[in-house]
Chain A
Amino acid sequence: MQRRDFLTAGVTAGALPEAVPPGQTSASRTDPALPRGVTATAYANRRSNFSPFTTPDYYTWADDLVIERNRPGKPHRGKVLAAIQAHSDDIPLYAAGTVAKLIDEGYTGYLIRISNDEAAGKTVGYGVVQNEIDNNEVAKALGCKKAFSFYYRNHRMDDCAEVEIRARLIFLFRLLRVDTIVAMDPYNHYEENPDHLVASRAAEGACWMAAGRHDYPEHFRAGLKPVAVREKYYHARSPQGHNLVNRVVDISSYIDVKVRSNVANRGKGPAGANGSRLRQELARQGKRLPLLGSTDEEADFNYIKHFLMEDFRLLGERFGLAYAEAFRYIGPDANYAQNIRRYAEKHAVAL
């Protein structure tokens, strides 16, 4: 089957539904209040306002935007994916559907958490332990082969040596033979969390340096080999943010996996056990919310799916999909040397 059956290109910014300011759910905005002759270059996302940690305020849509749909079989068999996150809830909230999809399509997946998540928990110790458990459970929910944690101090990663984090990622990329990463966009505008910035920059640098023969050559003495990370899916953070998007991934078939990965995040964030807590609170008031179901398990699942996934549903709706995640996708480099050689062969004339 042809690639274009799954990757639909050519959705231009002009074809997108009209943008609305953050916080509004209205689908129409006829008067953008822009001065005459000024064209909008960033588009406000429709937001449900059920959770801040979903889609960012704005996207800039690339004119070569691609919709990545399900691919039958296991087209990625033999390939390795590393999902890199500063905190245990980053990948689950922002990119779990895509990670689950890629793993289902054959990738071997690994989850790498950079911080120790100590800032969430009734004490630092409890927070660290619960989030460690959560990270492992998220990896299981997504079908990852293994989870790694680097345990740098939460919210203080701008105090870390970025070069050292990068070195550890280079080591893992080489060891695991990583082809593709899913990570936070290192160029997120208005990013307020230093852990996100440091982790994503370290990942960005590690992707190409892992291929270098002169970067950390002692790894080769240990039997590792250079590896070039060829594909990158960069996701936005939210709420504040402004991101370039050139790939929208249809995660409709994986929304329940994404929900389960968020259920696994019990140590912090908007997901975890908030559904069952709300159900119990309502019960104490003599009330019941039908969508939460009749058990705590159902409540946690349904709460996340109904409230926390709503913005991903709204995003998908713009493209005719049930649910979607958006990325700045960076694919494999062209074979420049081969292209020049082909050109030379085609155009060379006799001496």
Chain B
Amino acid sequence: MRSKVLEKLGLAPFQRADVGETQVVRDAPGRPHEGKVFAAVHAHLDDVPYYAAGLCAKLISEGYTGYIIRTSNDEKRGGGTPAENILRNEQEHYRMAAALGFKEVFDFYYQNHEMDAISSLDIRGRLILLFRLLKVDTVISFNPWGHGEENPDHWVTGRAVEEACWMCGVETDFHEHLEAGIQPHPVQEKYYFYGRPGQPYNRVVDISSHIEKKIDAIVECRAQGGGNLGSELRARLAREGKRLPLLGDDDRTADREFVRQFLLDDDREFGRPYGLAFAERFYYIDLRPPARSKVDEYVARHAVPL
């Protein structure tokens, strides 16, 4: 549980509102996060693939167990009827999650583009249940305070995540969960997407060694996200009697190379100032308590024998 007293005692770091120093996060050797759990919470099929697929692949390779939660039903994207779009995005969400190595997929299916009409309590309650059940240590999601966010599904999701992160550690919130043996479990680390130009970031994560996974994820986003643009271009050129060598000799290669060539400019740009081939930006919040509180330290320094 986070409280003002715990914050003052140095047991629950106060959440900084400023951006702070930008740090570059590189690959960690071994499996330093073994036993830890993260949840990537996004609104739409292609959010995590574009904003955080490299980070997700990196954390999983370093020992995290990853879960992905999609909050909308994506009915507005996919080229079909709303019903057809829901099915298409649902199935592609499973495939995208598998490509990144997520252990499990959860879909809430709130109506796409209309999530500002839903009950914030309902979605928050569902996230609290999942965070407790899965014992989520770290979340990856939208910055609930991110400037320029025009999509209501994004800010509704981000806000629900933000609130669920600390409330899931409070035993009096949804106390019926305890009756089911599901214990409070506060989230201790948060990575918020750099979702729009101008949004704050304080972590640049080197995803160079995970870029193939990121491409794997994006190419599964065909209903939305441009995952099939390569094969579509290849087919169009073929009809015109042309060929683009970049796209290779099959649709899979065409899709992957199209993504690599045309859809990863942001990742290249984010890495360039730091000498990285590809990077993702995040606003990182560390809520892990220190090993010793201010009181512990004071006692250690000043306590005298009776």
Interface set of A (CB-CB < 8 Å, partner B):
146, 148, 160-164, 167-168, 171-172, 175, 216-219, 221-224
Interface size band for B: 10 to 19
Q: Is the CB of A224 within 8 A of B176?
A: no
Question: Measured between C-beta atoms, what is the minimum distance from A179 to chain B in Å?
Answer: 18
Residues of B participating in the A interface, judged by any CB pair closer than 8 Å: 104, 106, 118-122, 125-126, 129-130, 133, 174-177, 179-180, 182
Asked, given contacts A164-B125, A167-B126, whether A222 binds B180 with beta carbons under 8 Å apart, the answer is yes
24 contacts between A and B (CB under 8 A): A148-B179, A160-B121, A161-B122, A162-B119, A163-B118, A163-B119, A164-B122, A167-B122, A168-B174, A168-B176, A171-B180, A175-B176, A175-B180, A216-B126, A218-B106, A218-B126, A218-B130, A218-B133, A221-B104, A221-B133, A222-B180, A222-B182, A223-B180, A224-B180
Cross-chain contact A171 with B133 (CB below 8 angstroms):
no
Q: Which residues of chain A come closer than 8 Å to B133, judged between CB atoms?
A: 218, 221-222
The verdict on A163 contacting B176 (CB below 8 Å), with A222-B129, A222-B133 known, is no
Q: Specify the chain B residue showing the minimal Cβ separation from A221.
A: B133
Q: Which residue of B lies closest to A110 (CB)?
A: B179
Partner of B176, one of A148, A162, A221, A223: A148
Q: Check B125–A168 contact: CB distance below 8 A.
A: yes
Secondary structure at the B interface, as helix, strand, loop or mixed, is helix
C-alpha gap A219/B106 in the complex (Å): 11
Q: How far is the CA of A222 from the CA of B185 in the complex (A)?
A: 15
CB contacts between A and B, total, < 8 Å: 50
Are B121's CB and A164's CB within 8 A? yes
Report the separation of the CA atoms of residues A62 and B122 in the bound assembly, to the nearest whole angstrom. Answer: 38
- Residues in B with CB closer than 8 Å to A221 are 104, 106, 130, 133
Measured between beta carbons, the chain A residues less than 8 angstroms from B121 are 160-161, 164
Q: What CA separation (Å) do A160 and B125 show in the bound complex?
A: 13
Pairs A-B, 7 closest by C-beta atoms: A161-B119, A164-B121, A164-B122, A161-B121, A163-B122, A163-B119, A175-B180
When distances are taken between beta carbons in the complex, the residues of chain B under 8 Å from A219 are 129
Return the chain A residue nearest B174 by Cβ: A168
B177: chain A residues within 8 A (beta carbon): 171
Instruction: Closest A residue to B69 by CB, please name it.
Output: A218
CA–CA, A148 and B182, complex, Å = 16
B119 touches A164 (CB 8 A): yes
Nearest chain B residue, comparing its CB with the CB of A146: B179
| CB closest residue in chain B, given A172 | B176
Q: How far is the CB of A145 from chain B (nearest CB, A)?
A: 11
CA–CA, A164 and B163, complex, Å:
15
A303 to B119, CA, bound (A): 45
Residues of B within 8 A of A172 (CB): 176, 179
In Å, the complex CA distance between A92 and B23 comes to: 61
